[in-house]
Amino acid sequence: MSFGDPNNPYGPPQQQAAAPQYGYPQQTPPGAPPQVPGYPQQPAYPGYPAANALPQTMPGLVTTARVLLYIVAGAQVLIGIFALLGAATLNDASNASEDTFGSNGFADIGHDGAGIVAVIALLFLGLSALSITLGVKFSKGGQGVRVTTMVYGLLGALFGVLILIGAANAGSSAALVWSLLWIGFGGVMAAAMIAPSGSAWFNRPRY
């Protein structure tokens, strides 16, 4: 038998590990937590990013843009509903004109007008769905949501400028107020997306 065999009875005695001596601090490897006699040591677990990450708060300007999107969506829904009602009323009036006087030019104009108003109503309802979707996506959306909202706000402000020009020519105070609202809402939404706080919010890390 070889003396290197641990089961060899004729080999040298095996060295026994020294029992820890109580009352004296034990040597610990560098970087390890200190050992306290009499208390079980807890294993060190690596930190997790989700556990260590601080809660993120949406910037105030971005929150304002989100609220404005919901307000615009509500206005668009109302416009769409009233436009649909107007299209239906105009179409019924055209049908009544045809029943009374037969096919005539006024009835044809009424049907064409009803179709145009219905298209406008569907456009506003579709835009309301876009406004709501963008507002919801502010929590977890990325650069796509930011760019879309910025373009959407700029187009809204441009639409307000066109209304303002028409209101100035017609001398309508109601249209003037409406145009200023569109310009203000669209400008704030675009500014919130262009601002550094808005860019940082949509570029933030997500765990």
CA 64 from chain centre, in angstroms, equals: 13
* pLDDT of 152: 94
Q: Where are the domains of the chain?
A: 60-202
Tell which residue, 50, 54, 57, 66, has the closest CA to residue 137. Answer: 66
Give the C-alpha separation, 181 to 125, whole Å.
19
pLDDT of residue 113: 83
Name the 3-class secondary structure at 102. Answer: coil
* pLDDT of 170: 77
- Which alpha helices (DSSP H) does 3-56 contain, by range? 49-52
The per-residue pLDDT string of the chain (207 residues; one tens digit each, 9 = 90 and over) reads 555 555 655 555 555 555 555 455 555 555 555 555 554 555 444 444 444 444 478 889 999 999 999 999 999 999 999 999 998 888 888 777 776 766 666 777 877 888 899 999 999 999 999 999 999 999 888 889 999 999 999 999 998 898 888 888 777 777 888 888 889 999 999 999 999 999 999 988 876
Q: Give residue 50's pLDDT.
A: 44
Instruction: Give the pLDDT score at 136.
Output: 93
Task: Supply the pLDDT for residue 196.
Answer: 92
- In angstroms, rounded to a whole number, what is the distance separating the alpha carbons of residues 109 and 104? 9
The b-or-e profile of 11-45 (16+ CB within 10 A means b, else e) is eeeeeeeeeeeeeeeeeeeeeeeeeeeeeeeeeee
pLDDT of residue 36: 52
Instruction: Locate 138 and state its tokens.
Output: 């502010």
Residue type for position 75: A
pLDDT at 44: 44
Quote the pTM value: 0.67
